Amino acid sequence: MNLPLHVAVIMDGNGRWAENRGEKREIGHLFGAKRVPAVARAFFDRGVRIVSLYAFSQENFRRPPIEVQGIFGCVEAFARSVETLGDDVRVIFSGEKSALPPSLAAACLAAEERTEVNKPFILNILIAYGGREEILRAARMLSGEKITEQNFRSALYADLPDPDLIIRTGGEKRLSGFMPFQSAYSELYFTDVLFPDFGDKDIEAALADYSSRQRRFGSLPPPKVP
């Protein structure tokens, strides 16, 4: 089986999951957030080393404050209890921490510090993340310097290998600002499953699908063995 090193999940569909049950959208975020440790662990157990989860975009600040606060509450609770992920996971938060409420920004920073030592697995949570903003910010940071791919990458929120596989739950077939620089050659997988329902069999299906893909990076497929 051909495994991705880095898998990303655009965790979409929490709102509809709640609305389908006659509940407030915040309930969907609560149930979605509750699934996060198990989803990350399911990938790690299957040999994936890096998991990026898109939790909140810069554009999501356009939502009603009550919903934004609900999502932030979920992320803060997660950040305060990262130890429940196990002691083999390093957690990082990618995005504009200065745009977050101070208590959330502090909880994210503290979680990063507590898990900073060498770990086999990385969980990268994107929060207050803007894909275009990430590129503009890197360009601004390097203004006056000679820009190379290497120093440009090191000016991104997290200098990680590119995502090999990007999964989007919730049925929409778009990236909505997710890692525009890093996704140039990512394999894309879309599923109608709403994120709070995204479970082991969906994870297996996505990894099996990835395994069947042939990545060419602009080159030609290997010659067929006669």
Interface with ligand IPE by CB under 6 A: which residues? 10-16, 54-57, 60, 71, 170, 172, 174, 176
Neighbouring C-alpha atoms within 13 Å toward the C-beta of 78: 30
Task: Please say which residue, 61 or 216, places its beta carbon nearer to ligand IPE.
Answer: 61
Q: Is 187 in the site for Mg ion (CB under 5 A)?
A: no
Residues 4-23 that bind Mg ion (CB under 5 A): 12
Gap between the Cα atoms of 24 and 152, Å rounded = 41
Give the integer Cα–Cα distance in Å for 165 and 163.
Answer: 6
Q: Pick the catalytic residue from 2, 14, 45, 60.
A: 60
State yes or no: is 12 an active-site residue.
yes
The answer to whether 125 and 131 have CB atoms below 8 angstroms apart is: no
From the list Mg ion, ligand IPE, none, pick the one residue 92 interacts with, judged by a Cβ distance below 5 to 8 Å according to partner type. Answer: none
Q: Of 60 and 124, which CB lies nearer to Mg ion in the complex structure?
A: 60
157 binds, among ligand IPE, Mg ion, none (CB under 5 to 8 A by kind): none
Which of 226, 107, 124, 126 has its CA nearest to residue 176? Answer: 126
| Two structure tokens written together for 56 | 């909140």
Rounded Cα–Cα distance for residues 98 and 174 (Å): 27
List the single partner that 71 binds among ligand IPE, Mg ion, none, CB under 5 to 8 Å by kind: ligand IPE
d(CA 95, CA 158): 9
CB closer to ligand IPE out of 141 and 197:
197
Does 164 participate in binding Mg ion (rule CB under 5 A)?
Answer: no
